[in-house]
């Protein structure tokens, strides 16, 4: 009994010790995220995820490990706004470069620390295609948000503006005709950095954070998988599966597997672009509207006209726009190579799907899977099979189209209303038709005038 009591006391003591170690009330929680790529919608999504996790884990300090040459203005503005509104202190460690959009994000942080040889500035807005300076309306917008951000974080707004506009002169700092880019020493001199540091640990020491636990944000497995589907090659394959699935479902209606594959491919295409802020709601709406117009043209409207062409243009256009980081049809900051790559990906997927229809259809019919789900044998009437529930034979009889045949519908022969279909032709209501086959439960018909011409 004494031994059991001793073991119980030792166990409780051990649990209390572990609990004390894991929840040290005096230990600050430091959350580190990295911005080491071009600023775009994916970066904005990453920052939002990181800050959400930092909030959930009740981090006391946020540190951004930065090395970027800039990127999309609108996405940088989204990140800037989120950082300015964040309640906990946010520090940025400029490991090498914080140019353009990177400079704007850095100014939104409470404190800036720079590594030896690092730089910040050169925030002139440039075009996505040629890299030339953008028109003044974009420069004016960038100047205003650089100025307001500097004011919000206690830095010189005139210097922040001069990082954008070469025509602005800051006395004692820069002359007209040059855009400000600070080295580490210059940033310290003019109050744009707190200290020169060589590591995050050094940064925390300079900031007076001593007893802390460091956590580096890692993208979840789900988000890593999502990023795979953003690859243009994978996007092209998904489009191929969509087209191929729709085609094979039409060839073997009722099987279900091809249409399910097409639906899954559509979801895998849409979700990653939506989560990363590339696919806007209106772009998704345009995609489904395009698909609806194509379906309307195929199943309802005879021939191929405005609805079909409009549906194709909407569908292809929406798929392309989802791959581009445009801002409501503003492609000014979209690189020409990105547009070319998106178009090539979509067209490759479409033409690949067409080739799959022509060359893959025959091969699919020979597979074991197809034999299991499709009826290949012929149930001949000579062997006793019949599905003719009609009153007598209608072969060669003439009637009229009671409804439009697209290619199936109803015909009227005498007083009998019967199911009928054509070999793909569209027949308007009221047209005279002739039954050319009455096997099965539906009659196959042709236009009466076509039959007379053949005779």
CA 67 to chain centre: 25
Two tokens, residue 284: 């998704």
List Cβ<8 Å contacts ≥24 apart for 152-160: 152/84, 152/108, 153/84, 153/107, 153/108, 153/109, 153/110, 155/107, 155/191, 155/192, 156/190, 156/191, 156/192, 159/190, 159/192, 160/107
pLDDT over 90 (residue 268)? no
Model confidence band, residue 328 (pLDDT cutoffs 50, 70, 90):
low
Homologous superfamily of the 25-218 domain (CATH): 2-enoyl-CoA Hydratase; Chain A, domain 1 (3.90.226.10)
Whole-number pLDDT of residue 382: 52
Average pLDDT over residues 118-141: 79
pLDDT band per the 50, 70, 90 thresholds, residue 50: very high
Stretch 387-409: mean pLDDT? 78
Report the CATH superfamily, name and number, of domain 388-454. Answer: Nucleic acid-binding proteins (2.40.50.140)
| Average of per-residue pLDDT across 221-231 | 77
pLDDT at 348: 80
Per-domain boundaries in the chain: 25-218, 222-278+323-373, 388-454
Cα–Cα distance for residue pair 317/320, rounded to 1 Å: 5
pLDDT tens sequence across 160-199: 999 998 888 888 888 888 899 999 999 999 999 999 999 9
Percentage of residues in the chain with pLDDT exceeding 70? Answer: 78
pLDDT at 24: 57
Segment 268-293 mean pLDDT: 83
Higher pLDDT, 166 or 328: 166
What is the residue-averaged pLDDT of the chain? 80
pLDDT-above-90 percentage for the chain: 33
Buried b (16+ CB within 10 A) or exposed e, 202-230: ebbeebebeeeeeeebeeeeebeebbebb
Amino acid 16: pLDDT = 43
Residue 152: what pLDDT?
A: 94
What integer pLDDT is reported at residue 20 of this predicted model? 43
The most distant pair of C-alpha atoms in the chain lies apart, rounded to whole Å, by: 112
Q: How do residues 247-260 score in pLDDT, each as one tens digit?
A: 776 666 555 677 88
CA distance 350 to 241: 10
pLDDT for the residue 455: 43
Supply the pLDDT for residue 15.
46
Q: What is the DSSP string of 294-353?
A: HHHHHHTSSSS-HHHHHHHHHHHHHHHHHTS--BTTB-TTS-HHHHHHHHHHHHHHHHHH
**Does the pLDDT of residue 263 top 90, yes or no?**
no
Predicted model pTM = 0.64
Residues 54-79: tens digit of each pLDDT: 999 999 999 999 999 988 888 899 99
How does DSSP assign 143-209, residue by residue? Answer: HHHHHHHHHHTTS-HHHHHHTT-TT--BTTTB-TT---EEEHHHHHHTTS-SEE-SSHHHHHHHTT-
User: Is residue 388 over pLDDT 70?
Assistant: no
Res. 121: pLDDT tops 80 = yes
Q: What pLDDT was estimated at residue 226? A: 76
Q: Does residue 23 register a pLDDT over 80?
A: no
Residue 389 DSSP SS3: coil
Q: Look at residue 419 and tell me whether its pLDDT is greater than 50.
A: yes
Question: Measuring CA to CA, how many Å separate 401 from each of 298, 427, 431, 438?
Answer: 20, 7, 5, 16
């Amino acid at each position: 009994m004494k031994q059991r009591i001793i073991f119980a006391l030792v166990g409780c003591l051990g649990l209390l010790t572990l609990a004390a170690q894991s929840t040290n009330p005096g230990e600050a929680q430091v959350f580190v995220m990295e911005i080491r790529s071009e600023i775009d919608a994916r970066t904005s999504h990453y920052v939002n995820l990181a800050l959400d996790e930092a909030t959930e884990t009740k981090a006391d300090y946020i540190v951004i490990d930065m090395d970027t040459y800039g990127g999309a203005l609108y996405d940088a503005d989204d990140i800037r706004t989120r950082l300015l509104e964040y309640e906990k202190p946010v520090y940025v460690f400029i490991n090498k470069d914080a140019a353009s959009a990177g400079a704007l994000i850095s100014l939104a942080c409470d404190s800036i620390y720079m590594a030896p040889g690092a730089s910040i500035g050169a925030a002139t807005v440039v075009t996505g295609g040629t890299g030339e300076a953008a028109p003044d309306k974009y420069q004016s917008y960038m100047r205003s948000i650089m100025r307001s951000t500097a004011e919000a974080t206690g830095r010189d707004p005139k210097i922040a503006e001069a990082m954008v506009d070469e025509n602005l002169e800051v006395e004692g700092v820069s002359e007209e005709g040059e855009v400000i880019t600070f080295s580490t020493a210059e940033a310290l001199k003019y109050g744009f950095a707190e200290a020169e540091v060589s590591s995050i640990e050094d940064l925390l020491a300079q900031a007076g954070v001593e007893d802390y636990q460091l956590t580096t944000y890692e993208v979840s497995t789900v988000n890593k998988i999502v990023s795979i589907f953003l690859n243009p090659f994978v996007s092209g394959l998904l489009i191929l599966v969509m087209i191929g699935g729709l085609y094979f479902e039409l060839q073997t209606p009722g099987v279900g597997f091809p249409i399910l594959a097409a639906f899954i491919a559509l979801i895998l295409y849409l979700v990653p672009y939506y989560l990363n802020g590339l696919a806007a709601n209106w772009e998704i709406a345009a995609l489904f509207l395009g698909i609806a117009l194509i379906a309307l043209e195929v199943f309802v409207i005879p021939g191929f006209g405005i609805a079909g062409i409009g549906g194709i243009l909407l569908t292809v256009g929406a798929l392309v726009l989802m791959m581009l980081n445009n801002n409501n049809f503003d492609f000014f900051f979209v690189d020409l190579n990105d547009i070319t790559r998106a178009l090539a990906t979509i067209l490759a997927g479409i033409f690949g799907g067409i080739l799959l229809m022509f060359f893959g259809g025959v091969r699919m019919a020979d597979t074991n899977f197809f034999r299991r789900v499709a009826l290949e044998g012929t149930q001949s009437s000579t062997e006793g099979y019949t599905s003719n529930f009609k009153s007598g034979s209608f072969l060669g009889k003439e009637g009229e189209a009671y409804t439009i045949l697209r290619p199936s519908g109803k015909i009227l022969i005498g007083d009998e209303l019967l199911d009928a279909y054509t070999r793909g032709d569209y027949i308007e209501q009221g047209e005279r038709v002739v039954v050319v086959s009455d096997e099965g439960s539906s009659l196959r018909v042709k236009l009466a005038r076509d039959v007379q011409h053949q005779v």
